[in-house]
Amino acid sequence: MRTGEVFALTWDDIDLEKRITRISKTVYAKLKDNDGRWYLGTTKTEGNCREFYICDTLYKALYNYKEKQKILRKQYGKKYKKYYLEEIKNKYGKIVEYKIIESKYKRKNSVEMLFTKKDGTYSGTDIIRYPFKIIHHELGINNCRFYDLRGSYATKILYNGGKIKDIATILGHSNIETTENYNIIKYKIDYI
């Protein structure tokens, strides 16, 4: 998943019963105003919704994380942050994106963001910056972004015999050539 796709996930995207995750949106920041700066829009390849199976390890992690959030909601009570999505329309009245706005109470268009702080605060992709910096320091890794994990994953699949068409589907590339160009470069760097 792209970084924005990961941090755009809501609990509505996760079906723990069927063990499926749906990827249909991305999160990005704009200039901050009184209502915040985080917006949800379509994935990079517009109209590209994809699903993937939740393995046992991920299932356990998501299940435990959801249970932890339930406990935190009770602990924080009314101080636990709630959010809703405000429709942003273009001049023709078409919805082009949604703004994530904090709310004092639950609304009909409320949204439960997956990755939040203990008090429910949603901070978009910023939530990974500090932990990722610590991981870099501890492992002695330089010049690596969270997004680079996506490329490493795709390269490993290719190296282990994955088919380029399947990798393109997993990555959400609508054009196989994008995946070929992307992986050929990474493959040479990592394995030659």
Q: 129-175 pLDDT, tens per residue?
A: 777 778 877 888 777 777 777 777 788 888 888 888 887 777 777 77
Count other C-beta atoms under 10 Å from residue 167's C-beta.
20
pLDDT of residue 15: 96
Q: Is 157 exposed, middle or buried (0-12, 13-18, 19+ CB in 10 A)?
A: middle
**Percent of the chain at pLDDT above 70?**
91
Q: What angle do CA 55, 60, 62 make, to 5 degrees?
A: 90
Residue-level pLDDT at 188: 45
pTM above 0.95, yes or no: no
pLDDT on residue 7: 92
Q: Judge whether 28 and 173 are in contact, CB under 8 Å.
A: no
Alpha-carbon distances, residue 166 vs 151, 153, 176, 179, 189 (angstroms): 14, 13, 9, 10, 22
57 vs 62: CA distance, rounded Å: 9
Question: How far is C-alpha 61 from the geometric centre of its chain's CA atoms?
Answer: 15
For residue 105, what pLDDT is reported? 74
Question: Which amino acid is present at 180?
Answer: E
pLDDT in tens, the chain (192 residues): 888 888 999 999 999 999 999 999 999 999 878 778 999 998 766 556 888 899 999 999 999 999 999 999 999 999 999 999 999 999 999 989 999 999 887 777 899 999 999 999 998 888 877 777 788 778 887 777 777 777 777 888 888 888 888 877 777 777 777 777 765 445 444 443
DSSP-assigned states of every residue in 3-44: HHHHTT-BGGGEETTTTEEEE--EEEEEEEETTEEEEEE--S
